[in-house]
Structure 1
Amino acid sequence: MFDIQEQLKKLPDSPGVYIMKDKDKNIIYIGKAKILKNRVRQYFQSSKHHSPKVQSMVANIAEFEYIVTDSELEALVLECNLIKKHKPRYNILLKDDKHYPYIKVTMNEEYPRIVITRKIEKDGAKYFGPYTSTTAVRETIDLIKKVFWIRTCKKEFPRDIGKERPCLNYYIKQCLAPCQGNINKESYRQMFRDICAFLDGKQDALIDKLTRDMHEAAERMDFEKAASIRDKINNIKQIAEKQKIISSTLSDQDVVAFAAGEDEACVQVFFIRGGKLIGREHFIIDGTSQMESQEVMTSFVKQFYNSTSYIPKEIVLQEDIDEASIIESWLTSRRGSKVYITVPRKGEKQKLIQMVAKNALETLQQFEGKLRKDKQFVQSALTELKNYLSLEKLPYRIEAYDISNTGGIESVGSMVVFKNAKPSNSDYRKFKIKSVIGPNDYDSMKEILYRRFKRANKESDLIKSGELNEEDAKFYQLPDLILVDGGKGHVSSVKEILNELRINIPVFGMVKDDRHRTRAAATEDLEINIPVDSSAFRLLTQIQDEVHRVAITYHRKLRSKKIIQSELEAIDGIGSVRRKKLLQHFKSIDKIRMATIDELTQVEGMDKRSAESVYNYFHAKNK
């Protein structure tokens, strides 16, 4: 037995991380301490000053362990990483662990490129962002291409200059064709320096520079170039007008504020770069009703900036946070230059905080409204389904199955899971049909149900013997209801398997009409009509559409892969290993077809002879 009082006496007076566990040895809380001895003992002293949340946590602590670190900063980093890994129930947890997209300008290359990335590296390139969606990034890059006529090909310069004729973009005046040497390296790099200035929010300086270039071109009577520059200036002005200047400091800032609800809080982050708002994001945190606002803000800052790639120069907060100086030091070490955490009480920054907090409150109210509607739908849908199908209990876990094939080729099965009337993607399973030849849906359905529940029985035995943990099992949890895409015959097939395995779970079919839309539920003997305006029918339709989508997507993927493999099998000297490497490198048969011999030789395992074989095969075929 773990003697808590005895172990408390052995705690060191060093910085470190402490890990609280319950009677089942599950980690329920992770914290850091400047002095472990003092911090951990506080939990087990008088509880009258503890919050209800801490009291509840302490009541569940059966044992604890700790990790000593050399400094408080090391303890902070370790705490963040352990919380992210174990997700303890009493820690504040960010559900949205997002890696935001950034625009990367490869100024470290002779001929720069623009790419989308979610990881910032110290490689000499310039990074701009974060953007809150890939769509926003692509729109920005499309605008840059329109204004600056940069290349979009994957050719390597200067190696590939002059090797092939220019692409279509050159002829439609969307590329300056550096592949032909039409623009020298320094001029091309200067264009990318202008792009960086544009992305950095310095549109005014860029417009001034382009205006001078336009006048110089006009004076030389190069009116075509002057008109082109004029169009660029107009496009940049239109973009600049859409960006809202909300900070006169013109620095990089994140502004963080939150609004608290009944049992959750919404934290809003505004990303300000060069004084302009480039994006915003919100995070919903559950279980905050018994927490101080300072605790909410501190936990958010640590978890959010432990995951994000970019740390701005200044982080403006609505509330003070615990151990602000050590967190500042941590963020400074991550950024590589000084980071300031400020909590403004007046002035422009305070007005920014108020604006962000207002947005957080509005988002929280929308979330709570949606949450209430979702709860009402879940309760009504499951209750109605129970009544229409005469079930003994509410079907909290529903499993649905479907078969997909083309003339019996690449036949597959899908299993989707709905928990509390919502899809549980992590529980989805896909099956390749192994024992059935030809298009036989009944036998295919029997096979996947047999494999699924046979595996469940095996895992159950392993759990009972202690050889498998319940959380590691993939098929152990059984459904309250089984739905199959089909009618009476499909239901009979499934029941035959369940009876053989001595499993008693209700089974119903999902019948479609002539237009492949959900029509009714089915037993072995009859169809059950469910009102189309009911929540139960809406849920049934959603489940049937989802299981069909998963099955047909998996089938198409396998069929497409087989077609590609068959195409490559016809090429002399290209065996299974090289086929696999080619597909991993180029991702599609079309890209392999368009590749040059030099590009093919860059693939692992491809020599010049095999590259020529692939190239000649496709080009001879095209002729």
Structure 2
Amino acid sequence: MVSSKEIVSALPDLCGVYLIKDSTGNIIYIGKSNSIKKRISTHFRTKLADKIASVDYILTESELSALILEASLIKKYKPKYNVSMRDDKQYPFVMLTMSEDFPMLTISRKVDDEKSVYFGPYKSLTARMLIKVVSKIFGLRSCANFKKRAQPCLNYYIKRCSAPCIDNISKKEYWINVKKAIDFLSHGPEQLLKELKSEMDKASRNMDFERAAKLRDNIHSIEKMISRFENRYTKQKRKDLESLNELQKIFSLKKTPKRIEAIDISNIGKDNTVGSLVVFLDGAPYKNNYRRFKIRTAKLPNDVAAIYEVVTRRYSGSLKDKFPFPDILLIDGGTAQLNSAMQA
């Protein structure tokens, strides 16, 4: 059997997507990183370590391409340990409504229209940023109720729509952009930029300098938007990581916390008390694991007894085996509530 050191040493210190396989050759986890080598090295310090038999990878030229490819592969293979993005309504899809004359680009939390094309799932912020970038590049509409207008909406003036509503673009031209957008969302920006640069070189050789200049400006604009997207995406990831690292120091943890749970009690009237469990995964709300507990054993209202019941039901009841144990558990309240949770 190949050792962890041998696996890591064979991997590149480059941006891309990696596919972790078990001893039977099944893909059990798919991820992305600016450094595949460093990320896999980190995985060997987690609970996934003893399940890693081999690692395949696909290099990409940008983090945006890695992001798009990762979502596509997770959707295709449905790896066992990609629990945070599998069958979870928290993570939306980018959707193109292909049944319309001028397809709409929007966010959807359900895959329920056979005539539409879906990309993802992504985290909400990522999905919104992708739609902004794709709308800017290809001019696809995002309005829910398409109809002919005398004047275009704001999106046209801020260059996020080509305004088919005022016949500013033909159906044929619009569908050319739709197909390019599908390719962009399926494979990333590299192929699009390659084609545009090839067209620019061809126009220059044919001495069509006006077209070459226009293509050059388009290329620069796309590269600028992609850079802006990646900077914002990286900034958000860095902010989340810094917060988690700070929590690691505060609680003197051996590793950066991945799963955080918090429990709170709400009293509605004298006889109606509810306990709430909220969960954060990698710094982001993980609503699929949120739970509500109707307090039934305590003499109400009694927050201390209610905390004891919720903690017991979460960590000793049916949820014990269903959910992993958190790295950090937060109890809302004072010393009495904390002591009650520790006794449960």
Return the TM-score normalized by structure 1. Answer: 0.30
Q: Which has the higher contact order (CA 8 A, sep 6+)?
A: 2
Considering only CA atoms, is the larger Rg found in Structure 1 or Structure 2?
1
Return the TM-score normalized by structure 2. Answer: 0.49
